């Protein structure tokens, strides 16, 4: 499924492209499943030109789960037939995973966790590594600390809850009441209705001095006008770079006066391969369970984009290249 112009979901259409040939340190993966991330619809609209060198026709998609079909020169870590999950090279302007085959850097793949299906694993790479990098690397979350995850039921939030619990942290999340059972089942100690609940009062009762970390998986203006004030001095507020709503320089400076850092998850993006492997290790240990999924065929990609763009998706929307 390709783009030949920017626009709404309707601009995505089927096309025949040559099967890619892996170069040095590249792996050709036969895609079983991919997933739809918020960055996908922003890429489709041309909003991420600051990060991606677009070309047309352009294949969207960051996440992948599938089988190694070929390896390029210098690749010794993977062999044909290996079951893998990971990410495309789209951040470098390469075609993505909405296809039968995709090239990936050898370092951006991990072994499929035992007991996980391609559907399970396809929703994890971007969301999981974003959560891991944001909390562990950028946010410095440690055993015994407290974290608020803004948007606890989505792909990033679902992974973040479990990662935080694996670290020994206590977890509060914002989400809609219909997802309270889901997030508490993943390990959240407190679930707050971001629309009808008094977020400040409930969080202050739970963490009177403020939380050590906020991971914002939605956008600043969706939680509170001054959400960074929920962070205790010495703590961190980690934003996801591709969100539409983020802190400006004045807001960052005001937070710094209180001893609170507002930082982007992109400050640690170069360590994404490490985050992916550490995430895979947690999955292999059974610490992280697969996100809830809704599976659509690749031909229904426009419908999948509409679901994700509308927000409030629980877990992940998965696209399958073949019947499951």
pLDDT in single tens digits along all 324 residues of the chain: 999 999 999 999 999 999 999 999 999 999 999 999 999 999 999 998 888 889 999 999 999 999 999 999 999 999 999 999 999 999 889 999 999 999 999 999 999 999 999 999 999 999 999 999 999 999 999 999 999 999 999 999 999 999 999 999 999 999 999 999 999 999 999 999 988 778 889 999 999 999 999 999 887 555 565 678 899 999 999 998 876 567 888 888 999 999 999 999 989 989 999 999 999 999 999 999 998 999 999 999 999 999 999 987 899 999 999 876
Q: What whole-number distance in Å separates Cα of residue 300 and Cα of residue 153?
A: 23
Q: What is the pTM (predicted TM-score) of this model?
A: 0.93
């Amino acid at each position: 499924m390709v783009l030949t112009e920017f626009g709404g979901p309707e601009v995505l259409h089927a096309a025949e492209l040559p099967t890619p040939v892996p170069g040095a340190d590249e792996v050709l993966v036969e895609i079983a499943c991919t997933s739809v991330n918020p960055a996908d619809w922003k890429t489709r609209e041309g909003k991420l030109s600051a990060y991606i060198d677009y070309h047309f026709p352009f294949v969207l998609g960051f996440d992948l789960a599938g089988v190694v079909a070929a390896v390029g020169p210098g690749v010794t870590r993977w062999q044909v037939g290996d079951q893998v999950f990971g990410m495309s090279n789209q951040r470098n302007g390469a075609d993505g995973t909405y296809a039968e085959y995709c090239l990936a850097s050898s370092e951006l793949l991990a072994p499929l966790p035992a007991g996980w299906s391609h559907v399970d694993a396809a929703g994890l790479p971007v969301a999981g590594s974003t959560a891991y990098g944001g909390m562990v690397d950028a946010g410095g979350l440690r055993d015994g600390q407290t974290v608020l995850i803004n948007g606890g039921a989505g792909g990033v939030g679902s992974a973040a809850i479990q990662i935080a619990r694996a670290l020994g942290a206590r977890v509060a999340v914002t989400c809609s009441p219909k997802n309270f059972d889901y997030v508490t089942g993943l390990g959240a100690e407190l679930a707050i209705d971001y629309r009808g609940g008094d977020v400040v009062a409930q969080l202050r009762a739970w963490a009177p001095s403020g939380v050590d970390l906020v991971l914002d998986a939605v956008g600043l203006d969706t939680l509170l006008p001054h959400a960074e004030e929920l962070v205790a001095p010495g703590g961190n507020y980690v934003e996801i770079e591709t969100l539409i709503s983020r802190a400006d320089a004045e807001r960052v400076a005001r937070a710094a006066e209180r001893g609170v850092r507002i930082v982007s998850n992109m400050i640690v993006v170069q360590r994404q391969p490490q985050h992916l492997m550490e995430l895979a290790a947690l999955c292999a240990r059974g610490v992280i369970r697969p996100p809830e999924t809704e599976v659509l065929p690749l031909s229904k990609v426009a419908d999948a984009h509409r679901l994700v763009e509308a927000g409030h998706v629980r877990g992940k929307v998965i696209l399958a290249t073949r019947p499951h």
